[in-house]
Chains A and B, each alone.
Chain A
């Protein structure tokens, strides 16, 4: 009997224990929320003021296309500004063929990363009563969106972040008008917070210095004012004068640049580890002709044969490749990768030199810019040369007074001099000659910011540049220039109704030869 009893309890025991063990495991869903939260990411609702600075820093660094610099800027604006020419046979953007995939990548990069970060920072600072930080974010918004609009014309701007499945574009005219209003609000707060600081060291431009942000905001207003000088001259003048009165950047110590660090390196340097572009022939003609002291800061001598040699833009595939790279000038050592001796320079956003050139143009147009066109032009050169080189004041004066002009290249195309303008301001010259001098010098000073230079080249026609050797684009012949990029395939796929409407906001078809709103000379 007892044996049977033991046997039964043994059975029951096993069954009971096993069931209990398994059921207790099954019954528990308490840990589910933990399991379903990734360990290496911050849940968005936990991003607060202590993490906001890192978010703003990302908006600054990535806001100017650091993430997709090659397809976003280097292969488009930098070649259309004729700073560089591509030597890679399969890259056709230099022959005026827009590569839709690149444009798409660039657009998506902007809206799915820096735009989101900035949107979050602006909303958070507004909702949590952080006006100074909010003002800086607003100024940065104007900076990064004006560049996007300058590529496409109408873009998604006021409706960004709507969370809707269709997001309307704004016309470029509306966008620019609203920029001035945004800058008004930002400037008011920045003024009210004179001496203040926001974001501190996380601000990758001014370390949170409100006063410098004020100078930047006014300078940005000046840039945008000149941009609309042909389409809305009256507004252009009043905004430019308002900017100068309020105070723009006048010294290199207040230049706006996004810092470079070992982990967020200079965005041109990201792409110089591969050999896919060289100095443009236009730069060779101008810099060597002017005997410009900045040439060695911008470019290196050709590896084979020495000297500063540029490549004509728009070479067909069959002419590229081979020894082209060795025989022409690459960027200066400063822009090489750190491992190759690069100095990882900061990323230029806006400088004193640019402000002087903007003011010089304003003065040329008869606006009150606090100086004459000539003086402001000379100040621009002085600021740029002293910023980029170690030239002495005497050497700078010599350069300013130089009557050197661009030279012919003596290459297989018998390329003539790009222009006949001298460095020295031609007081006897007409408006266009002076404008060409001012913009050409501004072009030199902006290097390597092709984005701004391409916009100014479209607006003013300067620098004259060279026709491309070949155009693959029937709409944009060799002797003309690309006027814009077209709306992207991703937008056509996901936001088509808005794209259809945006096309009506253009001056013509959604094509590379349609001029933007401000492109009205």
Chain B
């Protein structure tokens, strides 16, 4: 039945898409069919799931049993019933354990009769919910577990009220308790969220459920009452997953965390899960590299703090550290995401957590039977190329057309006939009209797409919870040929092997293939550079003739400037340098926990995150300059992280007021990686035959990679007083293999205190529903990268018997662990029953004893040495404001404002070196950390100035330029960042949007330096015929003077100026600085939940259709063309570096989510 259901779902979905013309290509049909087959096969393979399918529940008075009892306990009686019936009993031990010595002769009875008999002497009563039979004390008024006492059914009432209880999204809620106000009796909802209850016509029903706001509804003679419960936004009892997978109540936390709603992630989905976080967490910054679909991100929490490390946070999934980031993991299988922003939250994750932790929990199955859902998204991505190109002057120099020029300093394009640039002999001597081709660049890009389909199933009973998730993702980039395909499969079982022993096992597998990953930066193979750099007169039809048959029978490149070192025909790059990346990744985890008593538990766990990747790159013959004879490269990478740990947990309520939880554990973390790469070198025997043996000079390298082990022992305690005052203490000792023997063991502690003021102070104002003050202090140690303790020498092929070369980095046998100290103070305050909430955190972190290399004068015999030192300080404030301004039965409005300000200061580096260059591209800029300056100062060439800051102009009218990159021109760090998200729900419709703002920060744009240098942009139109006077009619903010101090009056022309200051080799960065301030509509979703009644008898419980959009438009942008999302690479020095980033993609799509009954 399930099979037909699923395939029907697929077919219907396909029909829907097809009707709406969302599917254009035929091959999509195949891929969808294939998903169906694969999914079903995998599904069938999940035997546990099938095994656990529920039987249709029968009423307890219809199931006959034959049970006799002799001096047995009630629990034993239940077990006997369970053995003979499909039912399962639920009860509290302390409430039933005193019922014993039961005697009953064996006879055929139905279950109800049996229960009536054995419960007759007790205060207990029963109720059936599906196959479960709840046993509760009759006197119990606990609202959450109110029962429909069979006795009450005999009472006065006549009126039967039925209805359905849903959450704000219209999804059914099971187990919601319904009680009668000022009366007795009650019921709860079943798996479909439905209930029925007998009450008086004037009664009032109370609907309550944990995590939802209790709602009262007057019956007023209604026969049907459907109720939509609002989630409790106050989250007073919110549970947060913290270190090592331990769940804690948010109120007891002494540090700052912020959770990310997971629904939005799967609706407005992005290929990289991290991109979906943008604007949703105060103090989190994300930049993407420019490699197209599947590009990786740089994620920073609370600013950069490491001089040589990368400052990126640690990712933890289901309590275990993973390797790298979760960018390629299955979005649909995520149940919660929590961001621990500072090291305070993280002392227990160990060293890697000094930059914060992002905690992801995968779905684990619920207790209420089978859930199947199907989630489909199709997103179309439109390229938005916002660089202001000029379309007035054509290819050439000095106003004269030159067919081999890569610049646009040529004549006005007026349709005059000029020589064709084509190298193809067939076109020799032909001419064509020189006229603007405004669509030639955008014409090369295409609409990208991101299609993903997920099947999710979970089954739960109190013995075993099973989840299964399969996602197929297929994406097409905006650059033709750049495609991604990904399969994610996850299975998780949580088995209660015995009453005390629990096994939690999961495996996530993914296979990913990326075709034609884009090359980045100012580099030949970056298609964006070649597309942007096309002179404005190049006709697309001419350019698309990118190759022709050469004299030797091999294709040659048809490019206008064949002597170029940097240029290629863009179509050559798109077609003749294909590359393919594949990745297989497995994350497996298994943990076993044993409850010695209710208070004492031991958990032992092992986890593995391993990946294997391949890279295949085929450079065709005549790829200009870089591979004139072609080159083939093949490489493999392998890496894994293996973690084994144990944890002993002890909880005890020492007195009525004091609760303590004490944990102690240990772990061994092993990291390994290696890589092998081989290529044909630059001289293949036969062009374009791509195999490694097709060369006389194979180049092979193997990299055994970086190995490290860290062993740790740790303990932590949380002590609560009256559930209102909490103290956290942690301590951890690490032993790291990368440090010298005498410093490889290091200890670090943390302390935290939180106070829930409204519970502590009796006279607390009533309009403040919750006020928590928290303070914490932590220290985190961090070890060094591997292999820093010895100087080494490397073998290299060459000479008669090989070469051996000592490397130039001097080891430091006295390395110390790095250390981050952090203090944090925060206030969580909520007003008006949680309708308005404010969470403020102020923090300060200092990262000391940092490990970094100091450049030596190379003449010292060492290029650099490793040392400890420095002090980078991050100070900041984060503010999260939540509001629920309107909340009625049918309309709900929620808003969240995030605001963060962070200041990264380099207080100290080293007395020897007050400044360190931590990265540079060889041309435009240098990324430095400098004592006493903000982190990440960007230096470039600039104008030469006199003592009072005036720009000095040479006799040729050109500003004089500093000889080196000595001028501080930019710093990418924002002044502040913020976002506003709003979510409106009206009946079945939900509308939400997110606006993100970034204030301040500057970048130096290599894109502008090169495009301006070639006269391709609008900026270079002014002064084509001369008349530009620096400091007067352009760069007019500058005061420009001649060497003798007199005013500059010498006119120059645009070509002289922009060629002089732009270009690739020695651009003057100061001329190409842009502000990074911008405001954009980051995300918009409009969702509709189809009314339940629409589905009639179909096995469908909810259907939700959403229209989603990301990056729709900029509300404000200081620079016309800068997208601050994109950088070159993801290393620390990539911050604020932009060179031929891909166009922004505006994405719009639909998402269909179906939950089956």
Using CB atoms and an 8 Å cutoff, list the residues of chain A in contact with chain B: 11, 14-15, 18-19, 21-23, 25-26, 28-29, 31-33, 35-45, 47, 51, 53-55, 57-58, 60-62, 87-90, 92, 99-101, 107-108, 110-113, 115-117, 119-120, 155-156, 159-167, 201-202, 204, 259, 261-264, 273-276, 317-318, 320-325, 337-340, 489-495, 498
Contacts and interface: CB of A to CB of B under 8 A. Distances in A.
Contacts of B917: 493
22 contacts: A11-B500, A35-B786, A40-B704, A43-B793, A45-B791, A54-B802, A61-B803, A62-B805, A99-B1065, A100-B1066, A112-B863, A116-B808, A163-B862, A165-B856, A167-B859, A259-B799, A264-B797, A318-B397, A322-B561, A339-B684, A491-B857, A493-B917
Contact of B863 (A108, A165, A204, A273): A108
B799 A57 contact: yes
A201 to B, nearest CB: 5
A259 B800 CA distance: 8
Given A29-B744, A164-B860, A38 B646 contact: no
A35 B964 contact: no
A516 B1133 CA distance: 39
Contacts of A41: 787, 792-794, 807
A47 to B, nearest CB: 6
B554 interface: no
Contact of A25 (B644, B741, B802, B1065): B644
Given A11-B596, A23-B666, A57 B856 contact: no
A461 B645 CA distance: 76
A118 to B, nearest CB: 10
Contacts of A58: 796, 798-799, 803-805
Interface of B: 397-398, 402, 404-406, 500-501, 561-566, 592, 594, 596, 602, 604, 625, 628-629, 644-646, 666-668, 682-685, 695-697, 702-704, 707-709, 711-713, 735, 737-738, 741, 744, 786-787, 789-808, 810, 854-863, 912-913, 915, 917, 922-923, 963-965, 1059, 1063-1066
B806 A11 contact: no
A204 B799 contact: yes
Given A15-B594, A163-B860, A261-B798, A113 B1066 contact: no
A263 B859 contact: no
Contacts of B695: 339
B709 A32 contact: yes
Given A54-B795, A55-B805, A22 B790 contact: no
B212 to A, nearest CB: 39
Given A36-B789, A37-B787, A40-B704, A274 B565 contact: yes
Contacts of A60: 799
B788 to A, nearest CB: 8
A263 B701 CA distance: 13
A113 B596 CA distance: 63
A510 B843 CA distance: 49
Contact of A276 (B565, B793, B922): B565
A353 to B, nearest CB: 26
Given A202-B801, A273-B629, A494-B855, A36 B738 contact: yes
B505 to A, nearest CB: 16
Nearest to B602: A15
Given A26-B711, A36-B737, A101-B923, A44 B806 contact: yes
B859 A119 contact: no
B860 A165 contact: yes
A356 B1004 CA distance: 56
Contacts of B404: 321-323
Given A35-B737, A322-B404, A107 B858 contact: yes
B816 to A, nearest CB: 15
Nearest to B713: A26
Contact of B646 (A18, A35, A89, A321): A18
Nearest to A104: B922
B702 A40 contact: yes
Contacts of A498: 857, 859
Given A156-B859, A490-B858, A40 B794 contact: yes
B696 A339 contact: yes
Which among A111, A163, A275, A492 has the highest number of chain B CB atoms within 10 Å?
A111
Contacts of A493: 855, 915, 917
B806 A100 contact: no
A348 B562 CA distance: 32
Contact of A57 (B666, B711, B803, B807): B803
B696 A262 contact: yes
B646 A19 contact: yes
B735 A160 contact: no
Given A26-B711, A160-B859, A492-B964, A38 B787 contact: yes
B806 A263 contact: no
Contacts of B566: 90
Given A90-B565, A90-B1065, A339-B685, A111 B858 contact: yes
A111 B864 CA distance: 12
A41 B705 CA distance: 11
Given A156-B859, A202-B800, A489-B964, A87 B563 contact: yes
Contacts of B792: 38, 41-44
A100 B964 CA distance: 8
Contacts of B565: 88, 90, 274, 276
A325 B695 CA distance: 27
Contact of B1066 (A18, A22, A99): A99
Contacts of B1064: 90
B901 to A, nearest CB: 32
A273 B923 contact: no
Contact of A113 (B402, B683, B805, B965): B805
Given A47-B806, A88-B563, A276-B565, A22 B645 contact: yes
Given A45-B790, A51-B804, A40 B861 contact: no
Contacts of A322: 402, 404, 561-563
Contacts of B741: 32-33
Contacts of A275: 563, 628
A117 B806 contact: yes
Given A111-B859, A321-B404, A492-B964, A339 B683 contact: yes
B796 A43 contact: no
